[in-house]
Amino acid sequence: MAPSGLSKEEQTTLIANGKGIVGIEFGSTRIKATLIAPDGTPLASGSYEWENKLVQGIWTYDEEEIWKGLASCYQSLAQQVQRLYGLPLQRLAALGFSGMMHGYMVFDREGKLLVPFRTWRNNITGEASKKLTELFRFNIPQRWSIAHLYQSMLEKQEHLPRITYMTTLAGYVHWKLTGEKVVGVGEASGIFPIDPATGTYDRAMVAQFDSLVEQQKLPWRLLDILPRPLPAGTPAGNLSAEGARLLDPSGNLKPGIPLCPPEGDAGTGMVATNSIRANTGNVSAGTSVFAMIVLDRSLSQPHEELDIVVTPDGKPVGMAHSNNGSSELDDWIGLFHEVVQTVRGPCPIDTLYETIPALAVTANATTDGLLHIGYHSGEHLTGFTEGRPLFARTSEAPLALPNFVRSILFSSLCALRIGLDVLYQEGIRVKELRGHGGFFKRGITGQKIMAAATGIPVSTPATAGEGGAWGMALLAAYAIRENKQQSLEDFLDERIASSISSPVPPDPRDTEEFRQYLERYKRGLAIEREAIRALA
């Protein structure tokens, strides 16, 4: 998509003059890069597919794969720029990195990773999560970095005295490319609670934590090892010569590029959907599924089903996060693809993604008698520390492909709805949810299913398929804006507001069917518990 009013020649000149802006996001299954014009319009993109591994009970990515994936993703972007515009990608106006929030990456004085990267997908910090929630009177989910740190303390893990820095995936990449130990404030809010009034870690809770662990006699206090939170629009360092080589081993990319604060995928989702103002909301649907509602008031009490995080500019957000989203659909599409290729020969898997999910919203599709529980990992919203994907049905239930796919899509949103119901009970509602991520890439299937599951009309930006990398590029563009007094809200209104589609309202028939499916799903969790015991 070309920027408004620019010819292909002008686009080429823009890139050649180093006016392009790049955002890169480390997603669960794909690292994606997006090059945009200053007005936010995508000019080129690149990607690299990767996958987490379950190693000795820990969901992780190899450290080497992080750097291989980053370089390969950037190379893919640079190759597309060469193909489309006929020139190498050498200079940029700004750059930004994003990644999966939370998790645990700790380093020693020499910058060595002390334990394998523990991702958000792990549900192994239950004791720490419970104790910290009680101490702070603030919900600390198992995914949060501080829960991983305290669980390591409870288990007296040997690496603890050697920690000099703890950060997230985005914070790690940013640090290695710039030397700066910082993160965006939205990303920081998934490490440790943020005080919205100060835009930094809650000082009272920091003091409580330090007091709690004082008897462990560690050579550091909490603030010694945490990255510094920065609000959107704040300078966050420049690409070093070493960082340029890590990002672009070909040597074409020049160092010195200014970087914005690294953000989490929740923050880039809010930006990509222009859901930054109070009483707006978005839902990101991919490997995980989470809805974010920007709050205009505090909740009545902590809720274990909800994260309280902040926007990239520091406003409080209620977040309902489900660990299990599209993985089950992806596996079934992969099986269908294998069947098709066995019977008919080569077939692009994208053809199946274009056709099969759309069957779920055809007139006769029904989930009567069907149940999927697609837990590939634990699911904190329903109390599971591990998962066993399963499918069950009554003997008389029609096993038709539209019904089967509709059941998978409904199931992928049930845990999310359980979390949203807590917000609804607090009186928190929005008129519209803005969706982004792979769930919304093809037609209006995703909007219809999401509207049925949430009971809220769902719209999508025209760039929904660009996802978090595009949102990260916008944050990088905001960091170099000419009008330094302009708020992030107003900046996004200029670039996104006109691209939002009309919302798709919930269909009453779909809404009622989802309600019935959700009740079946809740009862079916007993089957999931037995499956975990039986398939140890």
Q: Is residue 179 in a domain?
A: no
Q: Answer yes or no: do 250 and 377 share one domain.
A: no
CA distances from 202 to 61, 71, 138, 205, 246 (A): 30, 36, 11, 5, 34
Q: Which residues of 381-394 are buried (b: 16+ CB within 10 A; e: fewer)?
A: bbebebbbbbbbbe
Q: Answer yes or no: do 346 and 436 share one domain.
A: yes
Q: Is residue 183 in a domain?
A: no
Q: Is residue 386 in a domain?
A: yes
User: E-assigned strands of 71-122?
Assistant: 94-99, 105-107
Q: Answer yes or no: do 76 and 121 share one domain.
A: no
* Three-state DSSP state, 436: strand
Q: Answer yes or no: do 17 and 119 share one domain.
A: no
The domain in which residue 358 lies consists of 275-460+506-536
Query: What CATH code is carried by the domain that includes residue 216?
Result: 3.30.420.40
Say if residues 303 and 139 touch (Cβ distance below 8 Å). Answer: yes
Please give the chain's pLDDT, 536 residues, in tens: 444 567 888 899 999 999 999 999 999 889 999 999 998 888 999 999 999 999 999 999 999 999 999 999 999 999 999 999 999 999 999 999 999 999 999 999 999 999 999 999 898 999 999 999 999 999 999 999 999 999 999 999 999 999 999 999 999 999 999 999 999 999 999 999 999 999 999 999 999 999 999 999 999 999 999 999 999 999 999 999 999 999 999 999 999 999 999 999 999 999 999 999 999 999 999 889 999 999 999 899 999 999 999 999 999 999 999 999 999 999 999 999 999 999 999 999 999 999 999 999 998 999 999 999 999 999 989 999 999 999 999 999 999 999 999 999 999 999 999 999 999 999 998 999 999 888 988 789 999 999 999 999 999 887 655 678 999 999 999 999 999 999 999 999 988 866 788 899 999 999 999 999 999 999 999 999 999 999 98
Q: Answer yes or no: do 51 and 134 share one domain.
A: no
The pLDDT value given to residue 2: 40
Q: Is residue 248 in a domain?
A: yes
The pLDDT value given to residue 467: 74
Q: Answer yes or no: do 310 and 412 share one domain.
A: yes
The pLDDT value given to residue 3: 43
Q: Answer yes or no: do 478 and 513 share one domain.
A: no
The conformational region for residue 308 under phi > 0 = left, psi -120 to 50 = alpha, else beta, is: beta
Give the separation between CA 334 and CA 339, rounded to whole angstroms.
9
Task: Count, in order, helices (H) and strands (E) of the chain.
Answer: 18, 21
Structure tokens of 261?
């604060």
Cβ neighbours of residue 508 closer than 8 Å, sequence gap 6 or more = none
Structure tokens of 183?
């993160």
Q: Answer yes or no: do 79 and 114 share one domain.
A: no
Tell me the HSE value of 345 on the side-chain side, using a 13 A CA sphere.
Answer: 0
Torsion on CA atoms 287, 380, 132, 232, rounded to nearest 10? 30
Q: Answer yes or no: do 96 and 106 share one domain.
A: no
Structural domain count of the chain: 3
Structure tokens of 188?
């920081």
The pLDDT value given to residue 290: 92
The pLDDT value given to residue 466: 63
Q: Is residue 333 in a domain?
A: yes
Q: Answer yes or no: do 268 and 303 share one domain.
A: no
- The DSSP letter of residue 505 is P
In sequence order, what are the beta bridge partners of 195?
A: 200
Structure tokens of 505?
């309202």
Q: Is residue 231 in a domain?
A: no
Closest CA to 45 of 12, 18, 83, 14: 83
Q: Answer yes or no: do 221 and 111 share one domain.
A: yes
What is the separation of C-alpha 193 from the centre of its chain, rounded to a whole number of angstroms?
18
Tell me the HSE value of 203 on the side-chain side, using a 13 A CA sphere.
Answer: 3
Q: Is residue 178 in a domain?
A: no
The pLDDT value given to residue 286: 86
Q: Is residue 25 in a domain?
A: yes
Q: Answer yes or no: do 449 and 493 share one domain.
A: no
